[in-house]
């Protein structure tokens, strides 16, 4: 068999459905082998679009998303996606081409050391130097990308190797179960939980990666222990539940942190230090039980006293079996904090100023979205408003990146969600800065006939950095820009372009876009003038006084 055919067969064996990417001449054998394969090629307009889509496919399915690029410039364009998948715990396999390695007449044209470049950004990177090793290396790339903690892997397939003939056979996937936590660690955790007076549960990204919601629901129902989430743990348990306190969108100085500081035990389900800290541990503060697939990486602000290591859902099930509700548990203060958080989250939701108040935008989006609807955020200051104020009902319905926190992934991640869940409502929420970093993928979205709404929060600036600049008492400088006419811009791609003219007009327009097929872009002028006052000053003062 030809090596490139074998490679594609190996991908089929792994259950690959899509390859996202941009081929170069070095990938033409692979491209040709795809003609007779059930695997669909999703051609994008920038390798970043492909990489972010592949990573999100992995994030949502647990199966490595595959992206493809040529050597040199194509591969360097995938670098940010590798970091995104690797830090975000998203399984992704990158396949890049290369000039022939056995003999070549092209000198060093376009050649960079791609395997070396990927080394610090991946779990595994390898140049295939012979066709016979394709089956084992593909298997290895998938095994490593997918097993906890998931991340990015990379294979380089040089042109001459892709064209070789080989007798090798594909290697079947091995069936493996995730290891489960040791009974003794469960008993130690139960001892700590029973001894605590104010235990609190935190839901992190790892709890969203695999289905842990059912077991967690049982644990919470049995114990009545309140919970909060990290940004990437949103939706693991319903956030309209009376036991949900809030989401830690900031690292400190929000009302939620008063509850966290008053806890004596945090039962941390699935958070690791890659995410921006949801709280800071201190020497004499609360204890932490780290429930995760892997032991905790230790950090000055995170040094848990106990690890319960193994499959999270199983650990929670084991804990549920053993735990007993304790008379001495006292959640009164948590309940006061919850009341205050809920009041604060309701402030501004009917504010009719225009350009629009971010709090109202969040409330209107929540109102328009069904429980199963997915919002996919790019990175900007609105991420704080959405993670803090938007109440998710189901796991993985708020896709945001609080790990690499890169700009440019909002639209491609929404495209991947829409491709995977054609029956669900999907909305990308982007700043005007982040959207423009991969706006060319509107063409891909239109070509794929996706149903998708893209909300652009337009402040004509890199607002997040302006917010930080104001907080540092620096004058406003160097962060403003102009924008294209987004309505015409969308239309030029064959998408529907809309602009919000009044704050009352936003919700009906969004509902219209969600109800109608196609790619819709909504230009929403936003008023960020109070970000600094509310998020940096008021919240700190009010929460400290509380």
Ligand X SMILES: Cc1ncc(C[n+]2csc(CCOP(=O)(O)OP(=O)(O)O)c2C)c(N)n1
User: Site residues (CB under 6 A) for ligand X?
Assistant: 378-382, 405-408, 431-434, 457, 459, 461-465
Q: How far is the CB of 490 from ligand X (least distance, A)?
A: 17
DSSP H helices, 62-158, are 72-77, 79-88, 114-118, 134-146
Rounded distance, CA 133 to CA 153, Å?
16
When the beta carbons of 256 and 405 are compared against ligand X, the nearer one is 405
When the beta carbons of 406 and 444 are compared against ligand X, the nearer one is 406
When the beta carbons of 199 and 434 are compared against ligand X, the nearer one is 434
Rounded distance, CA 282 to CA 111, Å?
49
Told to check if 459 binds Mg ion by CB under 5 A, we report yes
When the beta carbons of 254 and 432 are compared against ligand X, the nearer one is 432
When the beta carbons of 115 and 479 are compared against ligand X, the nearer one is 479
CB atoms within 10 A of CB 408: 26
Q: How far is the CB of 535 from Mg ion (least distance, A)?
A: 16
When the beta carbons of 80 and 451 are compared against ligand X, the nearer one is 80
Residue with tokens 């990938």: 27
Out of ligand X, Mg ion, none, what residue 406 binds, judged by CB under 5 to 8 A for its kind, is: ligand X
Out of ligand X, Mg ion, none, what residue 361 binds, judged by CB under 5 to 8 A for its kind, is: none
Peptide bond into 149 cis (omega under 30): yes
Out of Mg ion, ligand X, none, what residue 65 binds, judged by CB under 5 to 8 A for its kind, is: none
Rounded distance, CA 137 to CA 135, Å?
6
Told to check if 401 binds Mg ion by CB under 5 A, we report no
Q: How far is the CB of 327 from ligand X (least distance, A)?
A: 47
Q: How far is the CB of 462 from Mg ion (least distance, A)?
A: 6
Out of ligand X, Mg ion, none, what residue 199 binds, judged by CB under 5 to 8 A for its kind, is: none
Q: How far is the CB of 459 from ligand X (least distance, A)?
A: 5
Told to check if 254 binds Mg ion by CB under 5 A, we report no
Q: How far is the CB of 500 from Mg ion (least distance, A)?
A: 15
> Which residue has the closest beta carbon to Mg ion?
431
Q: Using CA of residue 374, residue 376, residue 381, residue 387, what is the dihedral sign?
A: positive
Q: 255 CB contacts (<8 Å, ≥6 apart)? A: 246, 337, 340, 341, 344, 539, 542, 543, 546
Query: For the chain, percent helix, then strand, then coil, each to nearest 5?
Result: 45, 20, 40
Rounded distance, CA 293 to CA 284, Å?
27
- Helix (H) or strand (E) holding 467, with range, is helix 463-471
When the beta carbons of 93 and 377 are compared against ligand X, the nearer one is 377
Rounded distance, CA 334 to CA 261, Å?
10
Q: 180 CB contacts (<8 Å, ≥6 apart)? A: 310, 311, 314, 315, 318
Out of Mg ion, ligand X, none, what residue 279 binds, judged by CB under 5 to 8 A for its kind, is: none
Structural contact between residues 524 and 458, judged by C-beta atoms closer than 8 angstroms: yes
Structural contact between residues 97 and 27, judged by C-beta atoms closer than 8 angstroms: yes
Residue with tokens 């015409």: 488
Q: How far is the CB of 383 from ligand X (least distance, A)?
A: 8
Structure-token pair, residue 179? 């290891």
Q: What is the DSSP string of 12-80?
A: HHTT--EEEE---GGGHHHHHHHTTSSPEEEE-SSHHHHHHHHHHHHHHHSSPEEEEE-SHHHHHHTHH
Helix/strand/coil (H/E/C) assignment for every residue in 226-268: CEEECHHHCCCCCCCCCCEEEECCCCCCCHHHHHHHHCCEEEE
Instruction: Point out which span in 53-61, 271-279, 418-426, 463-471 binds Mg ion (CB under 5 A).
Output: 463-471
Q: Give, as ranges, the residues between 193 and 212 that touch Mg ion (CB under 5 A).
A: none
Out of Mg ion, ligand X, none, what residue 379 binds, judged by CB under 5 to 8 A for its kind, is: ligand X
When the beta carbons of 477 and 545 are compared against Mg ion, the nearer one is 477
Task: Give the x-and-dash track for 405-444 against Mg ion (CB under 5 A).
Answer: --------------------------xxx-----------
When the beta carbons of 18 and 486 are compared against ligand X, the nearer one is 486
Q: How far is the CB of 359 from Mg ion (least distance, A)?
A: 17
Out of Mg ion, ligand X, none, what residue 465 binds, judged by CB under 5 to 8 A for its kind, is: ligand X
Rounded distance, CA 191 to CA 415, Å?
46
When the beta carbons of 21 and 463 are compared against ligand X, the nearer one is 463
Q: How far is the CB of 506 from ligand X (least distance, A)?
A: 16
When the beta carbons of 215 and 430 are compared against ligand X, the nearer one is 430
Q: How far is the CB of 436 from Mg ion (least distance, A)?
A: 9
Q: How many residues bind Mg ion (CB under 5 A)?
A: 5
Give the one residue of 74, 310, 463, 497 binding Mg ion; rule: CB under 5 A: 463
| Contact residues for Mg ion, defined by CB under 5 A | 431-433, 459, 463
């Amino acid at each position: 068999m030809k090596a490139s055919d074998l490679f594609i067969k190996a991908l089929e064996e792994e259950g690959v459905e899509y390859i996202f990417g941009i081929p170069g001449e070095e990938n033409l054998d692979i491209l040709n082998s795809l003609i007779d394969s059930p695997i669909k090629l999703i051609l994008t307009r920038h390798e970043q679009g492909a990489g972010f889509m592949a990573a999100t496919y992995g994030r949502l399915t647990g199966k490595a998303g595959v992206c493809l690029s040529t050597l040199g410039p194509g591969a360097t364009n995938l670098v940010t996606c590798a970091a995104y998948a690797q830090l975000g715990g998203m399984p992704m396999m990158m396949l890049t081409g290369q000039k022939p390695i056995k003999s070549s007449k092209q000198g060093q044209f376009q050649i960079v050391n791609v395997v070396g470049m990927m080394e610090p950004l991946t779990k595994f990177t390898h140049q295939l130097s012979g066709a016979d090793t394709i089956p084992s290396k593909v298997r290895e790339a998938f095994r490593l990308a997918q097993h906890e903690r998931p991340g990015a892997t990379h294979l380089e397939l040089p042109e001459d190797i892709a064209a070789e003939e080989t007798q090798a056979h594909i290697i079947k996937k091995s069936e493996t179960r995730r290891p489960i936590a040791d009974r003794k660690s469960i008993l130690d955790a139960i001892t700590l939980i029973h001894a605590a007076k104010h235990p609190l549960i935190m839901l992190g990204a790892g709890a969203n990666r695999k289905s842990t919601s059912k077991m967690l629901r049982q644990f919470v129902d049995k114990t009545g222990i309140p919970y909060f989430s990290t940004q990437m743990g949103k939706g693991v348990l319903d956030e309209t539940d009376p036991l949900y306190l809030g989401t830690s969108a900031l690292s400190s100085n929000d009302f939620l942190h008063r509850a966290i500081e008053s806890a004596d035990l945090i039962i941390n389900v699935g958070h690791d230090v890659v995410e921006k800290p949801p709280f800071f541990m201190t020497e004499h503060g609360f204890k932490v039980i780290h429930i995760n697939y892997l032991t905790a990486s230790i950090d000055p602000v995170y040094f848990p006293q106990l690890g319960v290591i193994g499959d999270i859902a199983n650990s929670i099930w084991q804990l549920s079996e053993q735990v007993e509700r304790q008379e001495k548990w006292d959640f009164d203060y948590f309940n006061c904090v919850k009341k205050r958080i809920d009041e604060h989250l309701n402030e501004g939701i009917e504010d009719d100023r225009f350009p629009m108040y971010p709090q109202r935008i969040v409330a209107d989006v929540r109102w328009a979205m069904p429980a199963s609807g997915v919002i996919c955020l790019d990175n900007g200051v609105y991420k704080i408003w959405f993670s803090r104020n938007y109440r998710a009902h189901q796991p993985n319905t708020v896709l945001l990146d609080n790990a690499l926190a890169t700009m440019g992934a909002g639209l491609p991640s929404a495209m991947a969600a829409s491709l995977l869940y054609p029956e669900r409502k999907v909305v990308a929420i982007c700043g005007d800065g982040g959207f423009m970093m991969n706006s060319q993928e509107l063409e891909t979205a239109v070509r794929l006939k996706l149903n998708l709404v893209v909300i652009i929060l337009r402040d004509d600036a890199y607002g997040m950095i302006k917010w930080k600049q104001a907080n540092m008492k620096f004058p406003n400088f160097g962060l403003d820009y102009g924008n294209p006419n987004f309505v015409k811009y969308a239309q030029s791609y064959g998408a529907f372009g809309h602009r919000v003219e009044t704050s009352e007009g936003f919700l009906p327009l969004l509902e219209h876009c969600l109800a109608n097929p196609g790619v819709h872009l909504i230009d929403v002028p936003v008023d960020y003038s109070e970000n600094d006052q509310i998020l940096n000053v008021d919240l700190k003062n009010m929460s400290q006084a509380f």
